[in-house]
Amino acid sequence: MKVLVLDGVEEEGLQALRREPDIEVDIPNKLTEDQLVGIIGEYDGMIVRSATKVNARVLEHATKLKVVGRAGVGVDNIDLAAATAKGVLVVNAPGGNTIAAAELTMAMMQSLARNIPQANATLRSGKWDKKSFMGVELRGKVLGVIGLGRIGSAVAKRAQGMEMRVVAYDPYITEENAAILGVKLLSLEEIFKQSDFITVHLPLTRESKYLLDEKAFETMKQGVRIINCARGGIIKESALYEAMKSGKVAGAALDVFEKEPNTDSPLFEFNNFIATPHLGASTQEAQLLVAVDVAEEIVAALKGEPVKNTVNIPSLSPKTMAVVSPYLSLAEKMGKFVAQLVAGRIKKIEITYDGDLANQEVSPITTAVIKGFLDTILQEMVNYVNAPLLARDRGISVVQKQAGEGSDYANLITVKAASDKEELSVSGTIFGRTDPRIVSIDGYHVDAFPEGHMLYIPHIDKPRIIGPVGNLIGAHNINISAMQVGRLKIGGKAVMLLSVDAPVPAETLAEIAKIDGVLGVKNVSL
């Protein structure tokens, strides 16, 4: 397998990749988009920072690509919709650069308060000017933090250390969590009204685009100072320009811009404007940490092992992962099993969880069922990333139910598929921690190991069915390794599930179908 590493990701952090004998790591010099498009088809994985645009065109040419790793937090340079549709997993390294970004924010705040960059430049140009650089103290000032996540929280703690009063706006965190940090949550409007300094630490989304616009600046305190070390576009630069021109804003520090790279912003005309070229994550420590984290994630993804920081599928805690992992392979096989048995156009797949699974986070198991199902019927690559999307695109409704009617099993997964022709259900369980079984088909009890080749034969429960079936299969020199027969009442409908060492040829299936009392016959390969 080959992994392409771009954007100056710290090489020392890539040991996890280098240790893998089956993985080759390529670290070319900067590539243009055309050059990237030309070579991306060779790679199974790639790692980027924020410079390389992993857009729909690049992904279209990425015929082998399984995973894109972002050595950092923001994934706005990766087309997540295109990656998801193509089944390419996107992972990031969210924790590694938190302190670096928080420390840059503090440095920006202190620079704004004390005019350090401007005083430095003036002195180096030969002027000993004390009068122009009267500053303000941070002690006692109100800091408004918008976005109280990893970086916002780290900034809040540091600002409290400088005796600032910290207030925050973040609709997605609780009062209790904010209180643990000693931070009061306020409305956005109150943040604007009360803050002497405002710093933003949220992703750029449709909701957060231009959060700080003309109207927001109008509401702010006279002489407010503004910092953005998160993402360009959260602050509307033209509105900031007007607010600085009018004197409403006494100083602003931006590490990120609406367009990057940016070397000629109108904001550069203000002496109380400070800018850095997207340096938030640029510390030796942060770059090493994010490279180590993302390299480990890429190795796990390429080996098909659980991955922690997924961006385009829900991330699972290690605790949840430990619970669901043993069921993933069984669920995938049940999806394949149902896909091979059910006739007609599938409209709905319902997955019901009983027993221990009734109260667990089971969505990855549901995805595994859908993956197994679609893998059997589609040509294109199906994986955990694109399976739900592919089902939706094909008009298959997926319903997940927990705590069904209760069962005798400690854990039970039931997959019911409905097509325009019929309905069929299969139930499976895991005995102990590792022993998977199919325990019922359409309500008929069986006890089958979900592996290898099988023959499914619904029939009428009467003599001279099992013998002739065995004879016909034996005549083709195919060994039967196990047989299960389930019936609900004597002489009624029954199901037979044979484990065979090879798929049974079509002509034998036709002969079996002719046996009096056989209602159907289907090969199943898991």
Ligand X SMILES: NC(=O)c1ccc[n+]([C@@H]2O[C@H](COP(=O)([O-])OP(=O)(O)OC[C@H]3O[C@@H](n4cnc5c(N)ncnc54)[C@H](O)[C@@H]3O)[C@@H](O)[C@H]2O)c1
109 φ/ψ angles, rounded to the nearest 5 degrees: -65, -45
Q: Which alpha helices (DSSP H) does 195-276 contain, by range?
A: 214-219, 237-245
Burial track 316-354 (b if 16+ CB lie within 10 A, e otherwise) = beeebbebbebbbbbbbbbbbbbbbbbeeebeebbbbbb
Task: Kindly state the tokens that stand for 141.
Answer: 């000032």
Q: Return the one option of ligand X, ligand 3PG, none that residue 169 interacts with (CB less than 5 to 8 A, by type).
A: ligand X
- Which residues contribute to the site for ligand 3PG (CB under 6 A)? 49-50, 72-74, 97, 278, 280-282
Question: Residue 148 binds which entry of ligand X, ligand 3PG, none, with Cβ cut-offs from 5 to 8 Å by kind?
Answer: ligand X
Q: Which of 190, 242, 260, 423 is catalytic?
A: 260
Positions 119 through 148 that interact with ligand X (CB under 6 A): 146-148
Cα separation, 199 vs 197, in Å, equals 7
Nearest approach, Cβ of residue 100 and ligand X (Å): 7
Nearer to ligand X, 147 or 450 (CB): 147
Contact track, ligand X, 181-210, x by CB under 6 A: --------------------xxx---xx--
Judged by CB under 6 A, the residue of 45, 69, 74, 404 near ligand X is 74
260 is catalytic: yes
For this structure, is 278 an active site residue? yes
Helix (H, G, I), strand (E, B) or coil at 414: strand
275: closest CA among 289, 294, 261? 261
- The residue among 255 and 511 lying less far from ligand 3PG, judged by its C-beta, is 255
Cα angle: 338, vertex 340, 342; to 5 degrees:
65
Q: Which of 400, 414, 395, 415 is nearest to 346 (CA)?
A: 395
146 binds, among ligand 3PG, ligand X, none (CB under 5 to 8 A by kind): ligand X
Whether residue 231 lies in the annotated active site: yes
Q: Which does 221 bind (CB under 5 to 8 A by kind): ligand 3PG, ligand X, none?
A: none
CB of 337 to ligand 3PG, least distance (A): 43
- At position 481, the amino acid (one-letter code) is S
Spatial contact of 306 and 316, defined as CB atoms under 8 Å apart: yes
Rg (CA), the chain: 30
Among 345, 441, 355, residue whose Cα is nearest residue 405: 355
Q: Which does 294 bind (CB under 5 to 8 A by kind): ligand X, ligand 3PG, none?
A: none
Helix (H) or strand (E) holding 89: strand 89-92
Q: Which of 70, 278, 296, 511 is catalytic?
A: 278
In whole angstroms, what is the distance from residue 375 CA to residue 359 CA?
28
Q: How far is the CB of 67 from ligand 3PG (least distance, A)?
A: 18
Select which of 158, 165, 201, 231 is catalytic: 231
Report, in Å, the least distance between residue 328 CB and ligand X. 27
Q: How many residues does the chain have?
A: 526
Question: Whose Cβ is closer to ligand 3PG: residue 274's or residue 290's?
Answer: 290
Task: Please choose, from the candidates 149, 144, 228, the residue with its C-alpha nearest in 3D space to the C-alpha of residue 192.
Answer: 144
- Minimum separation from the CB atom of position 33 to ligand 3PG (A): 17
Residue with Cβ nearer ligand 3PG (92 or 366): 92
Nearer to ligand X, 101 or 167 (CB): 101
What, of ligand 3PG, ligand X, none, does residue 49 touch, CB below 5 to 8 Å by kind? Answer: ligand 3PG
Closer residue to ligand 3PG (CB): 7 or 423: 7
Q: Could you count the other beta carbons within 10 Å of the beta carbon of residue 69?
A: 32
Pairwise CA distance, residues 417 & 163, whole Å: 62
Residue nearest to ligand 3PG as judged by C-beta position: 72
**And the tokens for 384?**
């955990």
Among 52, 77, 92, 98, binds ligand X (CB under 6 A): 98
What residues between 266 and 285 interact with ligand X by CB under 6 A? 278, 280-281
HSE toward the beta carbon, residue 241, CA cutoff 13 A: 9
Q: Which partner from the list ligand 3PG, ligand X, none does 173 bind, CB cut-off 5 to 8 Å by kind?
A: ligand X
Q: Is 169 in the site for ligand X (CB under 6 A)?
A: yes
Q: How far is the CB of 246 from ligand X (least distance, A)?
A: 26
Q: Which residues, other chains included, contact 346 with Cβ-Cβ below 8 Å and sequence gap of 6+?
A: 339, 373, 394, 396, 417, 418, 419
Residue 443's SS3 state is: coil
Pattern 218-257, binding to ligand X, x per CB under 6 A? -----------xxx-----------------------xx-
d(CA 273, CA 121): 13
Q: Which residues are catalytic?
A: 231, 260, 278
Give contact residues for ligand X (rule: CB under 6 A): 73-74, 94, 97-98, 101, 146-152, 169-173, 201-203, 207-208, 229-231, 255-256, 278, 280-281
